[in-house]
Amino acid sequence: MEELAERVGIGVVTMRKIERGDPSVGLGLAFEAASITGVALFHEEDLPLSLERARVEDRLAVLPRRVRKPVVDNDF
């Protein structure tokens, strides 16, 4: 914990706050700690929207119909 805090440039107390998810810690510090430790915070790959939609539809296909929400056409 001390080594990581030193690498991020913060104190051990702040590092513990990051570990607990304390909202008083600056977001940049949490990003820096995640980057140093190799924790991915965002998707590594950007899937095109059509692929993401197909993936979601595949998952929804296994749910009973009463659970699925109807598709709403928001086209203005």
Please give the pLDDT value at position 67. Answer: 59
Q: Model confidence over 15-62: pLDDT tens digits?
A: 999 989 899 999 999 888 988 888 877 765 666 777 778 887 887 777
Q: Which helix (H) or strand (E) holds 61?
A: helix 49-61
What are the tokens at 49? 């929207």
| 65, two tokens | 């119909």
User: What pLDDT sits at residue 53?
Assistant: 80
Task: Find out whether 15 and 4 touch, Cβ atoms under 8 Å.
Answer: yes
Sign of the C-alpha dihedral computed for residues 42, 45, 48 and 54 taken in this order: negative
How far apart are alpha carbons 34 and 47 in whole angstroms?
A: 22
- Model-wide pTM > 0.85: no
Q: Is the pLDDT of residue 74 over 80?
A: no
